[in-house]
Amino acid sequence: MIGRLNHVAIAVPDLEAAAARYRDTLGATVGAAQDEPEHGVTVIFIDLPNTKIELLYPLGENSPITGFLAKNPSGGIHHICYEVEDILAVRDRLIAGGARVLGGAEPKIGAHGKPVLFLHPKDFNGCLIELEQA
């Protein structure tokens, strides 16, 4: 049901410093910062040959990243994103199986302009999972 690993998201306390570290120290291809007000984050994507890294920084007062950074002041892995073909079919199967879909279970448009959903980390071994319709 799940497909490719689309990205690993890392919450960071200083977006420009993290981007510079990946660009200058690790030699990665680092994109431009983009605000995602509906998700309460500013993101920078880093292209790798087989997947992407999403740097996450809080945007606005109710950002879901603020509390995470309070608990993890130097940053940390926040979620991983798997691609799916039919996000509504996957959602219905997950709910039927007892998994909790966050945010009222209605897909939002994610950073790539495609529908996304998030799954409760307690149902997936402590890992917040994002599903993106490929």
Which amino acids are annotated catalytic? 130
When the beta carbons of 98 and 113 are compared against Co ion, the nearer one is: 113
Residues in the site for Co ion, rule: CB under 5 A?
A: 9, 54, 81, 130
Residues 6+ away with beta carbon under 8 Å from 27 = none
Least Cβ distance, residue 63 to Co ion (angstroms)? 14
Tokens (6 digits) for 86:
């039919």
When the beta carbons of 83 and 123 are compared against Co ion, the nearer one is: 83
Rounded Cα distance, 85 and 36, in Å: 23
Rounded Cα distance, 55 and 9, in Å: 6
Least Cβ distance, residue 79 to Co ion (angstroms)? 6
Least Cβ distance, residue 9 to Co ion (angstroms)? 4
